[in-house]
Amino acid sequence: MEILLILIIVIIFGAVLTGNLGYVLFGMSGFLLLMAALMVVTFFVCCILLLTSKWKEAKFVGLDTPKEGSKFKVAYYLVDGEEIPCLFPEEGVFRKQFYQEDKVYHVLLNKRLHRVFDRFSVATCLLGLFGGLLLGGVMLAMYY
């Protein structure tokens, strides 16, 4: 809510100082284009990590916050006798349908990061990359 209020104030100040709302909209679309580019880079790196990972069978153990100080809960899987956390946070909605204890899943294990990608992480990476490319394409189309 505070971010929306700050954004409205910045738009009003920008429109008053420049005397033209077009400059403000141009700046906002440039900011969105920058955010889309950062989103594409982030999810492209995640997709590269996916490609360097190996498929393993894993048993879902539970949800917990990692010891690194993250505030978000992640899913833990038992892979080859070792509990390994997922790279992305767990989905807050449909928790019981998504994560079923003692069920065997196929996950992608990245040994270098010591993390796994479950099916929801893979979907997040692919949809995030596609969404960033789509948002960037729309923003670039607005410039031309």
Looking at the structure of the chain, the number of domains it has is: 1
Whole-number mean pLDDT of the chain?
A: 86
pLDDT, residue 1, reads 65
pLDDT, residue 13, reads 78
Tell me: the pLDDT tens digits for 111-131?
999 999 998 899 999 999 999
DSSP category for residue 127: H
pLDDT surpasses 90 at 48: yes
- As given in the structure block, the two tokens for residue 96 are 């019981």
Sheet holding 54-64, edge to edge: 82-85, 74-79, 54-64, 104-110, 115-117
Q: Which of 87-91, 94-98, 132-136 has the weakest average pLDDT?
A: 94-98
Supply the range of the domain harboring residue 43: 1-144
Non-local (6+) Cβ contacts of 134 within 8 A are none
Instruction: State the pTM of this model.
Output: 0.77
Tell me: the pLDDT tens digits for 13-38?
777 787 777 777 777 788 888 889 99
CA separation, residue 125 to residues 32, 47, 91, 94 (Å): 20, 6, 14, 19
DSSP string, 22-83: HHHHHHHHHHHHHHHHHHHHHHHHHHHHHHT-EEEEEEEEEEE--TT--SS-EEEEEETTEE
pLDDT surpasses 80 at 67: no
